[in-house]
Chain A
Amino acid sequence: DQQVKQNSPSLSVQEGRISILNCDYTNSMFDYFLWYKKYPAEGPTFLISISSIKDKNEDGRFTVFLNKSAKHLSLHIVPSQPGDSAVYFCAASEGNTPLVFGKGTRLSVIA
């Protein structure tokens, strides 16, 4: 049973527009959420995180929104740049348990 779901395997966005990547989770005990970005032949790199006590966290062009009632989080990238083209993974954890990752969404930013 998949606890963290990224239902869109891929997403294409024009350069300069907003990219919105979505993630749903089923475990209401998750209290910490993260987004990672992965380029081919490299390991995932940490992007941004949010605690369950917040509903928004912003870092430059990246903003993560958390809707606990809907068990949904999203990553907004504004403006999107060609260098943002990568696979994005959503991850969640409950207390001291290991991170649970989604299957990823491949973002393509078209110039």
Chain B
Amino acid sequence: KAGVTQTPRYLIKTRGQQVTLSCSPISGHRSVSWYQQTPGQGLQFLFEYFSETQRNKGNFPGRFSGRQFSNSRSEMNVSTLELGDSALYLCASRSLPSGRGYEQYFGPGTRLTVT
């Protein structure tokens, strides 16, 4: 089975621009979660989608949004980019929604640099 894939792997944007990141989960997985990883902050939860519906949302401003398509692929959008948005954005998939016993499988991440 192919793993979680994320595109692009690297991205450089300018302050004020917007960006869209893409995630393709493992085949058969219907839950996709997004995380932001910054130096010294660990992984911070952005949101989770299951069957095209947002199930959970982290404590991030409304500039961060996402969606999930019928084939379970997910996109994350950040509008009006700020320097502090520079981070590694990780996508994780699981077969079922959040709940114990169902480990998440992470993609390699998209490294976003905002200049």
Taking beta carbons and an 8 Å cutoff, which residues of A are in contact with B?
6, 9, 31-32, 34, 36, 41-46, 49, 51, 89, 91, 93, 95-104
Contacts and interface: CB of A to CB of B under 8 A. Distances in A.
B42 A44 contact: no
Interface of B: 4, 33, 35, 40-45, 48, 56, 58, 90, 92, 97-101, 103-109
B48 A44 contact: no
B106 A101 contact: no
A95 B109 contact: no
Contact of B42 (A42, A45, A46, A102): A102
A41 to B, nearest CB: 7
B108 A45 contact: no
A42 B108 contact: yes
